[in-house]
């Protein structure tokens, strides 16, 4: 634990210098690689015309867990990388420990894929111990933050989010990083964070905040901690840090959390983001309003001002016009809802088809060259207010070129 706290303290001590560095945005070769693969046309010409333009941070560019395409997610290092690529808003997915402290982790039950817990004495706390692959059965494990204290959490070493489900040993199971990601920046231990520490880090980097209240893996209330207590504690940590509500976009897939913030903390609730996972409902289609659990007008009437569907729910294809807004996107704008979307740079090489995030434009997705067409349709035709990315430079370049703040 001592080393983790010491490293974090050193990082936070150096933050004034890091914040200055973040003002000088470095985009690297990735945006230009994508542009090179685009079909010839006005959009490619426009993006090419911005080559050499000095880049600056943009609120349109949102770091999704930092920059996890190459850095271990939710670490100091991942978020510094995202800020240096111009992400104007940074994300801490929030869950809680056994002693009810808020920490940055994508899920309460992901420690077995995002940290080294299985290779430590804390493996005994895992609700599902490591079981090796055997025959057709995959290797399994499940380890939760709610089973360990904050002090124990601090002893863990974060890693790239991955697991080799064919593994027969813990060491092999902790591998499995996708071939289009890298372990290059996790060879030396990255720095794990609490939610409060993320606030201090993001503030010093000059970024704004979009914490997501993760759905608990345990039954609530937990140790006397209710869902409302959980939602309130998240807000209270911003208040304690002196962060204005206007700099915070709270998020949750649970509509009840959003409605709680709207009622109990209206200043923060005004920018609370309802993350939409209606795609899990059988028969749901973003092209068919009759399948939606709530109309866009109903959400607006509840006090919701921001929605955040995944990228594919916001677009469809047209034989004449290529990528065009979906019925959901059109209805959301008609209801005066702001839209944020997720996630660009999470699909690997698009020559493989793009998978889940590109499913509504699968017929057009056969090259990385489609990525900026997708981004452009989301920005210009759908009118999204911001885009999450696992590699923020891609979005920052577009935002700067198009004059988006």
Condensed to tens digits (0 to 9), the pLDDT of residues 31-52 reads 999 999 999 999 999 999 999 9
Question: What separation in angstroms does the CA of 317 have from each of 54, 77, 324, 367?
Answer: 34, 38, 6, 16
| CB of 192 closer than 8 Å to CB of 75 | yes
HSE-up of 219 (CA within 13 Å, CB side)? 0
pLDDT at residue 131 is higher than 50 = yes
Tokens of 104: 């940055």
In this predicted model, what pLDDT tens digit does every residue of 73-111 receive, in sequence order?
A: 999 999 999 999 999 999 999 999 999 999 999 999 999
Model confidence at 9, in pLDDT bands (50, 70, 90)? low
pLDDT of 3 over the 70 cut: no
Is the separation of the CB atoms in 202 and 215 below 8 Å? Answer: no
Distance from the first to the final alpha carbon of the chain: 40
Integer Cα distance of 82 and 175 in angstroms:
24
Answer yes or no: is pLDDT of 5 > 90.
no
Average pLDDT value for residue range 193-208: 98
Confidence of residue 56 (pLDDT cuts 50, 70, 90): very high
Phi then psi for residue 55, to 5 deg, are -95, 155
What is the spatial distance between Cα 236 and Cα 324, in angstroms, rounded to a whole number? 41
> What's the average model confidence in pLDDT over 348-368?
97
Q: Judging by DSSP bridges, how do beta strands 315-318 and 322-325 pair with one another?
A: antiparallel
User: What is the percent of the chain where pLDDT is above 90?
Assistant: 94
Local structure of 306: helix, strand or coil = strand
Structure tokens at 138: 């995959």
Q: For the stretch 183-193, what's the b/e string if a residue is b when 16 or more beta carbons lie within 10 angstroms of its beta carbon? A: eebbeebbbbb
- pLDDT at residue 8, as a whole number: 53
Percentage of the residues of the chain whose pLDDT score is greater than 70: 94
> What is the predicted pLDDT for the residue at 79?
98
Name the β-bridge partners of 310. 342
Identify the band that residue 12 occupies on the pLDDT scale cut at 50, 70 and 90. Answer: low
Predicted pLDDT of residue 385: 98
Query: 2-106+181-402 has which fold?
Result: TIM Barrel (3.20.20)
Cross-strand bridge partners of residue 323: 317
CA distance 282 to 197: 40
| CA pair distance 144, 53, nearest whole angstrom | 45
Burial of 137 (0-12, 13-18, 19+ CB in 10 A): exposed
Q: Please, are residues 217 and 108 in contact by the beta-carbon 8 Å criterion?
A: yes
If one counts every other C-beta atom within 10 angstroms of the C-beta of residue 30, the result is 17
* 24 pLDDT higher than 90: no
Higher pLDDT, 47 or 11: 47
Residue 150 has pLDDT above 50, yes or no: yes
pTM metric for this prediction:
0.95
Specify the residue for token string 């939710």: 74
Contact 364, 374 (CB under 8 A): no
Mean pLDDT for 362-368 is: 97
Q: 181: which 2 tokens?
A: 């990601």
- Strands (E) across 160-214 are located at 208-209, 212-213
Q: 231: closest CA among 269, 281, 181, 204?
A: 269
In the predicted model, what is the mean pLDDT of the chain? 95
Domain residue extents for the chain: 2-106+181-402
Q: Is 245 strand, coil or helix? A: helix
Q: What angle do CA 188, 193, 194 make, to 5 degrees?
A: 165
Q: What is the DSSP string of 286-312?
A: TT-GGG-SS-HHHHHHTT--EEE-BGG
In this structure, the number of other CB atoms found within 10 A of the CB of residue 84 comes to 23
Residue 19 has pLDDT above 70, yes or no: no
pLDDT tens digits for 311-356? Answer: 999 999 999 999 999 999 999 999 999 999 999 999 999 999 999 9
C-alpha 72: how far from chain center: 12
**106, 161 in Cβ contact below 8 A?**
yes
Instruction: Band the pLDDT of 7: cuts 50, 70, 90.
Output: very low
Q: What are phi and psi of 338, to 5 degrees?
A: -80, 145
């Amino acid at each position: 634990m001592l080393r983790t706290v010491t490293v974090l303290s050193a990082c936070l001590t150096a933050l004034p210098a890091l914040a200055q560095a973040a003002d000088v945005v470095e985009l690297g070769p990735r945006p230009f690689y994508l542009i090179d693969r685009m079909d010839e046309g006005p959009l490619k010409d426009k993006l090419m015309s911005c080559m050499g333009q000095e880049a600056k941070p943009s609120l349109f560019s949102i770091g999704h867990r930092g920059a996890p395409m190459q850095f271990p997610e939710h670490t100091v290092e991942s978020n510094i990388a995202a800020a240096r690529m111009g992400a104007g808003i940074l994300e801490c997915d929030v869950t809680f420990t056994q002693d009810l402290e808020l920490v940055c982790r994508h899920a309460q039950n992901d420690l077995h894929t995002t940290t080294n817990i299985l290779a430590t004495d804390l493996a005994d706390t895992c609700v599902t111990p490591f079981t090796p692959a055997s025959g057709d059965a995959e290797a399994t494990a499940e380890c939760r933050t709610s089973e360990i204290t904050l002090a124990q959490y601090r002893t863990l070493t974060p890693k790239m989010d991955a697991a080799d489900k064919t593994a027969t040993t813990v060491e092999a199971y902790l591998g499995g990083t996708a071939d289009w990601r890298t372990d290059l920046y996790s060879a030396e231990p990255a720095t794990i964070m609490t939610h409060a520490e993320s606030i201090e880090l993001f503030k010093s980097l000059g970024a704004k905040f979009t914490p997501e209240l993760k759905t608990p893996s345990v039954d609530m209330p937990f140790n006397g901690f209710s869902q409302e207590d959980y939602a309130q504690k998240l807000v209270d940590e911003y208040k304690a840090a002196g962060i204005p509500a206007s700099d915070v976009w709270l998020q949750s897939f649970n509509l009840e959390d959003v409605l709680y913030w709207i009622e109990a903390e209206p200043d923060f609730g005004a920018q609370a983001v309802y993350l939409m996972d209606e795609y899990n409902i059988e028969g749901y289609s973003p092209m068919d309003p009759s399948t939606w659990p709530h109309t866009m007008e109903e959400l607006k009437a509840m006090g919701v001002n921001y929605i955040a569907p995944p990228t594919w729910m916001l677009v469809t294809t047209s034989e004449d016009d290529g990528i065009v807004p979906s019925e959901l996107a059109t209805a959301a704008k008609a209801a005066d809802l702001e839209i944020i979307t997720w996630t660009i740079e999470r699909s690997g090489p698009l020559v493989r088809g793009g998978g889940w995030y590109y499913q509504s434009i699968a017929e057009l997705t056969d090259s990385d060259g489609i990525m900026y067409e997708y981004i452009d349709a989301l920005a210009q035709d759908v009118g999204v207010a911001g885009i999450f990315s696992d590699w923020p430079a891609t979005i920052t370049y577009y935002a700067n070129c198009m004059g988006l703040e």
